[in-house]
Amino acid sequence: MENNERFEQVIDDHLEFDRIPQVEKRHSRHDVCAFIYLSELFPGKTSAMIASASHDEIWLDVTSEEIESLSDYDILYLIRCGVRYDNDNDSLAMFA
């Protein structure tokens, strides 16, 4: 299954941050929570979490291979934090 299909399966949960159990939240703010979660998933990176930005959108420093390694739960968690998959750039993105 392609990355965009995996994210589209749970798109109805986009920004449904309250659906993440409190004990599983890394932070009280959904965007910071997503950053911490990604940092925990892919430890050892020293670059900034935001790879680029334009207007009201940011793209995250996560490779194609890392996106492919995400579990269904990881994708659901990130979607609930406001992260989406940008098919045009094969990357994770968020609206500011």
- Domain hosting 27: range is 3-95
Q: Report the SS3 class of residue 63.
A: coil
Q: What is the pLDDT of residues 9-53, one digit of tens each?
A: 999 999 999 999 999 999 999 999 999 999 999 998 888 999 999
Minimal CA–CA distance to 51: which of 40, 35, 65?
Answer: 35
Q: Report the SS3 class of residue 56.
A: coil
Q: Quick one: pLDDT at residue 1? A: 75
Q: What is the pLDDT of residues 79-89, one digit of tens each?
A: 999 999 999 99
pLDDT confidence of 91, banded at 50, 70, 90? very high
3-state SS of the chain: helix, strand, coil percent to 5?
Answer: 45, 20, 40
Q: pTM for the full model? A: 0.95
Q: Please, are residues 50 and 58 in contact by the beta-carbon 8 Å criterion?
A: yes
Domain count, the chain: 1
Distances in whole angstroms, Cα of residue 7 to Cα of each of 1, 27, 84: 10, 22, 7
Q: Quick one: pLDDT at residue 44? A: 86
